[in-house]
Amino acid sequence: MTPPTSGASPTSRRSFLTGTAAVVGASSIAAVLPGPLAESTPAGAADAPALPDYAPIPRSSLGPALNDQGYYVGRVKGNLYWVTDGTYQSAFLTTRDGVVLFDAPPTIGHNLQRAVNEIAAANGVSNKVTHLVYSHHHADHAGASSLFGRNVVRIGHEENRRLLLRDNDPTRPAPTVTFHDRHTLHVGGEHVRLAYHGTNHTPDNIYIHFPDHDTLMLVDIVTSGWVPIYNLNLSEDIPGYTAAPTTALSYPWKHLIGGHVGRLGTRADVDVHQQYVADIATNVRTALATVDPTPYFVKYGENSWAAVKTYLDAVTDYAAAPVIAKYTGVLAAADVFTTSTTLVVLESIRLDLGVGSQVHP
């Protein structure tokens, strides 16, 4: 579902960038770039090193086209809607008593209210955001929270409140409603089930279940159609992150709102994600048993960090190569981020699980 053309000048930065945002999330970049794109090109750019080429993105990984204002809003089911700028995602539930918003990514920013306004006008319902649920505390998913004022009821895990108070960021007011394990949010005849199953991506990342809408929102775990970015989406607890998809699949749902990229997810997307991570872990264990560390420590002698780096890089490359080959054309950016993800899986297997640790005789 896309609104009418806004009338923005076709030469404006927003119009120019959002023309390609469905493919590369350029609207998110536009939100943080100062001045027109043409003015941001540095002098002598022709002399800069050539940027690398990467494998084409599978068409199945891409979402719907964005409108002229740089967003897409669509119905998930019933009165549950999702919003994307091609890189980030949010969701909202319309009720007879107002709108419940789930996450407020700053790259979508004021387009969140525009999306709500669009749906409210089409359906004859309120466009007033009365509640805002935080999936977790990270600024890239919550940094537009302050746009909705002080009177919005904010909900999050108790750890979410602690972290936001610690961060003291005025763009992310701390929740006033918190919970420990479970909380059912009742608004305007609707109910949403919030649950905490332990640390994963962050210590406060929660599962948001819409039982009447066949939908689960779980942010920064599965990026549907894509591999995770650096280090399994920059997650803080790798074993917790790895276990999260199994927990997600224990819920009944058809649609997944993952917080990133341009389309909704499916249960099949979670299956592919799990296999991808499992393949990396299997190859890491093989690499640890195969790559001999001796030459690296002999070569670098007293420079222990050089020996450690070159050895771990060799193990990482050994483990990542077959995964990149297997998933290129299946998951977008398999050739971009698999190596960095493999390194963090390697370190988790070594440090969290103790694989490869040797006791000196």
- Closest by Cα among 144, 73, 133, 74 to 105: 144
Query: Per-residue pLDDT tens for 306-356?
Result: 999 999 999 999 999 999 999 999 999 999 999 999 999 999 999 999 998
In this predicted structure, what is the pLDDT of residue 77?
98
Count the neighbouring beta carbons within 10 Å of the beta carbon of residue 61.
Answer: 20
Residue 231 Rama label (left phi>0; alpha psi -120 to 50; beta): left
Query: Per-residue pLDDT tens for 118-159?
Result: 999 999 999 999 999 999 999 999 999 999 999 999 999 999
Question: pTM value?
Answer: 0.87
Tokens standing for residue 111: 């387009």
In this predicted structure, what is the pLDDT of residue 44?
54
Beta-bridge partner residues of 131: 100, 153
Residue 17 has pLDDT above 60, yes or no: no
- Asked if 257 contacts 82 with a C-beta cutoff of 8 angstroms, the reply is yes
- The length of the chain, given as a count of residues: 361
Query: Order of strands, edge to edge, in the sheet holding 129-133?
Result: 72-77, 80-84, 89-95, 98-102, 129-133, 153-157, 177-179
DSSP state of 51: P
Query: Per-residue pLDDT tens for 71-88?
Result: 999 999 999 999 999 999
How far apart are the C-alpha atoms of 102 and 84, rounded to whole Å? 12
Provide DSSP, 149-165: -SSSEEEEEHHHHHHHH
Mean pLDDT of the 18-24 span: 39
What average pLDDT is seen over the chain? 90
Question: Parallel, antiparallel, or unpaired for β 190-195 and 207-210?
Answer: antiparallel
How far apart are the C-alpha atoms of 30 and 37, rounded to whole Å? 8
How far apart are the C-alpha atoms of 62 and 60, rounded to whole Å? 6
In this predicted structure, what is the pLDDT of residue 356?
80
- Asked if 349 contacts 356 with a C-beta cutoff of 8 angstroms, the reply is yes
- Asked if 97 contacts 116 with a C-beta cutoff of 8 angstroms, the reply is no
In this predicted structure, what is the pLDDT of residue 357?
78
How far apart are the C-alpha atoms of 61 and 334, rounded to whole Å? 12
Question: Parallel, antiparallel, or unpaired for β 129-133 and 80-84?
Answer: unpaired
SS3 helix, strand, coil % of the chain, rounded to 5?
40, 15, 40
In this predicted structure, what is the pLDDT of residue 42?
56
In this predicted structure, what is the pLDDT of residue 46?
58
How far apart are the C-alpha atoms of 248 and 222, rounded to whole Å? 10
Tokens standing for residue 75: 């119905």
**Portion of the chain with pLDDT greater than 70, in percent:** 87
**17 or 349, which is more confident?**
349
Query: Per-residue pLDDT tens for 216-265?
Result: 999 999 999 999 999 999 999 999 999 999 999 999 999 999 999 999 99
- Closest by Cα among 239, 249, 184, 191 to 218: 249
Per-position b or e across 128-167, b if 16+ CB within 10 A of its CB = ebbbbbbbbbbebbbbbbbbbeeebbbbbbebbbbbbeee
- Asked if 136 contacts 175 with a C-beta cutoff of 8 angstroms, the reply is no
Query: Per-residue pLDDT tens for 34-53?
Result: 444 444 555 555 567 889 99
Give the confidence band of 11 by pLDDT, cuts at 50, 70, 90. very low
Tokens standing for residue 197: 């199953």
Angle (nearest 5°) at CA 224 between 76 and 274: 125
In this predicted structure, what is the pLDDT of residue 360?
77
